[in-house]
Amino acid sequence: MADEDDRRWPDWLTVRRDDAPQAQGAVVLDGAATRTRPALFAALGGALALPTHLGSTWDALSDVLRDRLDTGPLTLLINDAGELLVDEPAGQYALLLSVLGDLAATAPHPLRVVLRDVPTT
């Protein structure tokens, strides 16, 4: 089931805590493989065929994702999202969400992000 707590997520962001089917047409990333910013950038670069000059800053990521969003909508599905950027200093996860939120608000085509973390039993 989708997250049912009292928080209101922005329209571009979905948080799921179940093993529902993946979003059709989504670019799928593995949170366990994106524990650091360089690993996240590499995963995005590979999955989206981003330019090799991506760089290693949040501004650079924003620029290449904006270019990608110039061509059409994009849905990112991050499985094991609880692992995303866990090996980075505090605040990096918030910076990622800020970059994605800015893109979702200003890009010519829709950006959707699904953070999916299936609880272990």
Please tell me the predicted confidence (pLDDT) of residue 2: 47
Between CA 15 and CA 77 the distance in angstroms is: 10
Please tell me the predicted confidence (pLDDT) of residue 9: 83
For each of the domains in the chain, give its residue range(s) and CATH number, in order of start.
Answer: 13-116 (3.30.370.10)
Q: Taking the mean position of all CA atoms in its chain, how far away is CA 88?
A: 16
Q: Choose the weakest-confidence range: 34-43, 45-54, 69-78.
A: 45-54
DSSP-assigned states of every residue in 70-93: TSS-EEEEEETGGGTTTTSPTTHH
Please state the φ and ψ torsions of residue 114, each to the nearest 5 degrees: -115, 115
Please check the confidence at residue 62 and state whether its pLDDT lies above 80: yes
Please check the confidence at residue 43 and state whether its pLDDT lies above 70: yes
Tens of pLDDT, residue by residue over 71-121, are 999 999 999 999 999 999 989 999 999 999 999 999 999 999 999 987 665
